[in-house]
Amino acid sequence: MQLPILESINLMAVLPVLIIAGWACVLLVFDLLIPRSRKHWTAWLALVGLLGAAVALFFQIGHFARLGSEAAFDGMVTVDGFSIFLQVVFVLTAIVGVLLALDYLPRHGIERGEYYVLLLFTTIGMMIMSMAADLIVVFVALELLSIPLYILSGFAGMRETSEEAALKYFLLGAFASSFLVYGIALTYGGTGTTRLTGIAQAVTSDALNLPLTTVGMGLLLVGLGFKVAAVPFHMWTPDVYQGAPTPVTAFMSVGAKAGGFAALIRVLVTAFPAIASEWGTLIAVIAGLTMLLGNIVAISQSNIKRMLAYSSIAHAGYILLAVAAAQRSENASFAIGAVVFYLLAYALTNLGAFTVAIAVERDDGTGTEIDDFAGLGKTRPWMALAMALFMLSLTGMPISGGLVGKVFVFQAALQAVPGDPLLLAVVIIGVLTSVVSAFYYLKVIMVMYMREGEGKAVLPLALKTVLAATAFGTLVLGIIPGPVFQMAQRAMLK
C-alpha cells in the first residue's frame, strides 16, 4: 500500500494544532515532576504553549492573505479564513480559561495540573472542528472536544453538583454523539462519501438516495444542535453550567458553542447547498424556538450561572438566525461573517461576565446567586461597571459589541427574507426577545447598584487582566466594529 506523500499531509497547515497537541503531551509528563504545591507552574507552561500557537496563527493569517485556503491530510482538513478566524477565538478563549483557573483552583482546593492539560486537548478539538472537511474528522474532533469537558465538569469532585454536572453532560453528550454517528452512516449510505465536497456533488447527481441523505442530515443536526445548546437539545445546559467549576463553565460556554457552530456551518454550507431551502427553514424554526425558550425561562432564574446558561441558549438562537440566512449563496458571505463576528463579541462579553462571577463566588462554591452581587457598585465600582457593560452587551445596548453583533445577524436575516419569508417572523421574534432579555440582564445591574450588601469579591491580578481585556474588547467591537467585521467577512469557507 502506498503511503500518502508529504505534500498531501501538509503539516505546516495545521501547525498551531500540532504545537498545542505536542505541548499538551509534554506537559502531561512534565506535570508529574512538579510538586503539588507548585501546580501553578503547569498553568504558566500551558500559557506558553497557547502563546506559541498564537504566534503560528499570526503567521498563518499572513500566509492565507497571500495564498488563500490550503488542504491537509489528503483533503480531510481545510485551512481557510473561516478556520483561522475561529482558531484565534479558540486560542484566546483557552488563554482566558487558564487565567481564570489560576486563582480559582487553589482557592477551592481542587488545583491539579491535569486541569490545564485537559483544557489544551479540548482546545485542539475545537480547532480541528473549524477545519474539518470530512464527516469523520467532524466526529473525531467533536469527541476530542467533548471528553475532556466531561472530566473538567466534574473536576470539583467533592461537590455533588459537580459530579451531577459531569454525569449529565457525559450521558447526554454520548447520546447526542450516537445521533451524529448514525447521521454520518446514513449520509454515507445515501451519497457514497463522507467528504463534504463529495456529498455536495452527490446531492446533485442521479445516484443520490435522497430519503437516506435527508434523514442523515437531520441526525447530524441533532448531534451538532446538542453542542450549541439549541432547542430542543438544550436540556443539559443549565445543570451543567451551574454544577461545573465556574472557570470550566466560562470556557465551555464560549469554546464548545463556537466549535459546534464551526462544524454546523461547514456541514450545512459546504455539503448541502443544493437543499439549502430545506435546512434553512428547519434552522429558522429552531432559532425562533431557541430565542423564545432561552429568554423567557432566564427571567425566573436567581442563580447567575443558571441565568447565563439560559442566556447562552438564547444567544445560540440569534446565531442560528444568521446560519439560516446563509442558505442563499448571494448572502452567505455576509451571514457567515455575522456569525463569526457574533461569536467573537459573545466570547468577550460572556468571559467577562463569568470573570466577575468567579470574583464574587466564595471558596465553598456558594456566592453564585444574583443577590450576592448586592453592594458591588460601592465596594468594587470598577468591577461593577465592567459587569454592567457585559450585561448591556448581552442585552444588545449601545455602545457594545453585543449590539453590533445583533445588528449584523438581523441584517443578514433580512437580506435573505425575499427568498424565505419565514425569516421575517423569526427576526421579529429576535427583536422582541431582545427586549425581554433586558429584564433579567438589567436585574443584575439593579442589584449591584440599588441593593445594600457586603459586596465582597476576590480579584487577583489574573482576573483583573481578564476583566480589563474583555471589557476593552467589548467596547472596541461596539465603537469601531468595521475592521473586525471586514476580517470576519473574509472568513469564507473554501
Taking the CA atoms of residue 157, residue 160, residue 165 and residue 167 in that order, the dihedral angle to the nearest 10 degrees is: 80
Query: What cell numbers appear for 353 in the block?
Result: 461576565
Q: Residue 36 has what DSSP assignment? A: G
pLDDT tens profile 431-458: 999 999 999 999 999 999 998 888 788 8
Q: What is the mean pLDDT of the chain?
A: 88
Those residues with Cβ within 8 angstroms of residue 80's Cβ, 6 or more apart along the chain or in another chain: 64, 68, 69, 70, 491, 492, 493, 494
At residue 402, does pLDDT exceed 80?
Answer: yes
Give 75's pLDDT tier (boundaries 50, 70, 90): confident
pLDDT tens profile 209-225: 888 888 999 999 999 99
At residue 2, does pLDDT exceed 50?
Answer: no
The runs of H, that is alpha helices, within 233-380 are 237-243, 246-265, 276-298, 304-325, 332-360, 376-379
Those residues with Cβ within 8 angstroms of residue 449's Cβ, 6 or more apart along the chain or in another chain: 377, 384, 388
Those residues with Cβ within 8 angstroms of residue 45's Cβ, 6 or more apart along the chain or in another chain: 23, 27, 30, 116
pLDDT tens profile 48-59: 999 999 999 888
Longest dimension (CA), the chain: 74
Region of 353 please: left (phi>0), alpha (psi -120 to 50) or beta: alpha
The answer to whether 392 and 402 have CB atoms below 8 angstroms apart is yes
pLDDT tens profile 183-206: 999 999 988 889 998 998 888 887
Cα–Cα distance between 214 and 69 in angstroms, integer?
Answer: 29
**Mean local confidence (pLDDT), 168-193:** 91
Backbone angles phi, psi at 39, to 5 degrees: -65, -15
Nearest to 44 by CA among 118, 101, 3, 125: 101
Give 415's pLDDT tier (boundaries 50, 70, 90): confident
Residue 196 CA neighbour count, 13 Å, CB half? 28
Q: Determine the number of helices (DSSP H) and then strands (DSSP E) in the chain.
A: 20, 2
Those residues with Cβ within 8 angstroms of residue 26's Cβ, 6 or more apart along the chain or in another chain: none
**Mean local confidence (pLDDT), 289-302:** 93
Give 310's pLDDT tier (boundaries 50, 70, 90): very high
**Mean local confidence (pLDDT), 218-244:** 90
pLDDT tens profile 354-391: 999 999 988 877 888 999 899 898 999 999 999 999 99
